Structure 1
Amino acid sequence: MKALVYRGPHEVTVEDRPDPTVQAPTDAVIRITTTNICGSDLHMYEGRTSVEEGKILGHENMGVVEAVGDAVTRIRVGDRVSVPFNIACGTCRNCAHGWTSFCLRTNPTEGMDGAAYGYANMGPYDGGQAEYLRVPYADFNLLHLPPGTEHENDFTMLSDIFPTGWHGTELAGQAPGDTVAVFGAGPVGLMAAHSALIKGADRVFVVDKEPDRLAMAEKIGGLPINFADGDPVQQIMDATDGVGADCGVEAVGFQAHDPSGDEHPELVLDNLVDVVRSTGGIGVVGVYVPQDPGAPDKKAQQGRIGWQYGTFFSKGQRMGTGQCPVMRYNRQLRDLIIAGRARPSFLVSHELPLAQAPEAYGHFDRRDQGWTKVLLHPGG
């Protein structure tokens, strides 16, 4: 099969790799119809992780079942399915409590709970930016989709970014009528804004500096805040008569930077502590890592980020963090798509064959105008 392979910082290539096979009775093999480039793939692409050379990338996957193991009874050959980026066993303590993003059995990496396809430190699993993908524990992990091709560009968001955006609002404790501040208008931030509006937010401020992303936020009903025009906290405070937001979502992560491009990993956390009212909630779904050799200072290189914890404490705020347990939300979000209540495909800017993936990575990494979300179709 053809697959996209990591070869070093800013270098990915499409190569021939052996087709995946059923290795355990609980496995399935999926023919990939759509796989997406995710913003968190760029951490690996830029050399900011310990991902090994030769890794097949891609954790946002959907397709059609080609083969199943003898123990697979719910999923059948020919089923159209969404593949959550979490690889979960379904029976460990965390899975049993709905925390499939922290499965205790699927990742042999020391000190890491939770596994994923094609990602650094998330286990030995190939990704799905390829023609085929092996899925462990298929009966538990795979989500049925209606047959055919309808809603393809919406359903492809169910593997990660739509549930992750929704998870950000859940971690923040958003309630109907809340004013929400979303920092980051990349795909996850836009999905958080879309989720907040579906859930009945009064106002959703979306903070970024890229004009195309801010225009997209405004198109779905968000209120764009360009931090290149001035302090985003002050802009939101002015717009709310000094009250601030009821809750906020961090959708940027450890590579947060100021308008000049200098990195400050604590920047968005500090802004959210300042702009969210006392007793409000903050949901952090932007990626942070235990070690970051490329960080601007020694403490951040060790994963130690100095942020306004004292103010956070004194304001009585609460914070939820961590990767999204996709299965907690994906069935409901699928049904919102089918009912026409959710349309996550609004952020798709490009649909390309797998052969053009290396070029697409470069455009997406540079934040080139108009490259907001790239879908890859390995079949053509």
Structure 2
Amino acid sequence: MSIGITGLAVKCCIGSNADEFYDALCQHKDGNAPLKSFDANKFNSQHAYEIDDRVDGEDRPYRASEWLQQAIEAAIEQSNIDLSGKRCAIFVGTGLRELRSVELWHNKKVPVTLDRLHFAKAVTENLPKDIPVYTFCNACSASNFALGMAKDMIESGELDCAIAAGTDSITESMFGLLDRVNPMNPQVLRSFNQDRRGVIMGEGAAAVVLEKDPTSKPQAWLKGVGFSCDAYQDTAPEENGLVRAMNDASKCSGVSANEIDALFVHGTGTILNDEVELAATGQYFADRTRDLYVTGVKPNIGHTSGASGLISVITAIKSMQNNQVPPIFGLSDPIEGAPQIKLLAENLPAESVNNVQVNAFGFGGVNAVAVVSRS
């Protein structure tokens, strides 16, 4: 069953709404800057892709919740949906929840309350109070898992509509973990380049409104979301696990590999992830790889953790609406294996792009692949 996507919203380091964000991608902008969230001198990597919304540079709690609330309300407003009388739920994907708020409480004695560490309080503040909020903490693929669960609940007849969303802010503990995992101290994220050095964190939130019987013209159609959990290793990706998620997406969506026109990759810029993702792409799409347009947004906005999958889904939708697919920012010297795959280095006029696949792969092998279409 195809589910209509009637509203969408993004907030990240290069845009406060979906249009502004998409235009920035097409203008080849990025949000890389010196780290501001905490003392950069503690770390080898001293850059990040942060949202510049602090007053006088002072960090504050609940930023991830703020962006989530803003994105959900903007998506609802755009969809023009009336939630009264509808069976609706909100599904939120996140990697870190409000961990930064806990850090501020622990390190700086900033007051926080237990109820605000769950997203429900912020999300439902201006919405009907009976809307349930479900949170999925599935690492980097979390928001695509939320998207898939929302679709499943509508298809099962449990809901008339749903809101799928994702959010994450940069945390000191996660930044420090990645700082030690990255062996070459990256200052910029360079997906699929020979000189890539590793992943750098970003911040952001995204939301989409899903309707079984759309009350307004859908912006796109969600065809399906496929999953896999290979549990191969704590952090390393596994090629066959990625391919299983792609095959499941094809089964759930009814859209075969031969019908996909563009692919938005996970593309973290790490040595291993980019190589394994290219290998999985080659295995799944086989001899189609030269006809497939491949791009990704992390070099523009960093790795936004749980929000990253849905941000890419929205980019795919905006690309179909505007008949233009933005490139992989900074792609200049593609890695080995890339000559067999059409990695985009420049904007692509894309009137013929009708079906797009979006990859989201997480630590521990939790993988979620979405397929969206024009009609």
Q: Which bin holds the TM-score, normalised by the shorter protein?
A: under 0.3
Q: Which has the larger radius of gyration?
A: 1
TM-score by length of 2: 0.27
For CA contacts below 8 A with separation 6 or more, give which structure has more relative contact order: 2
Q: Which structure has the highest helix share of the two?
A: 2
TM-score by length of 1: 0.27
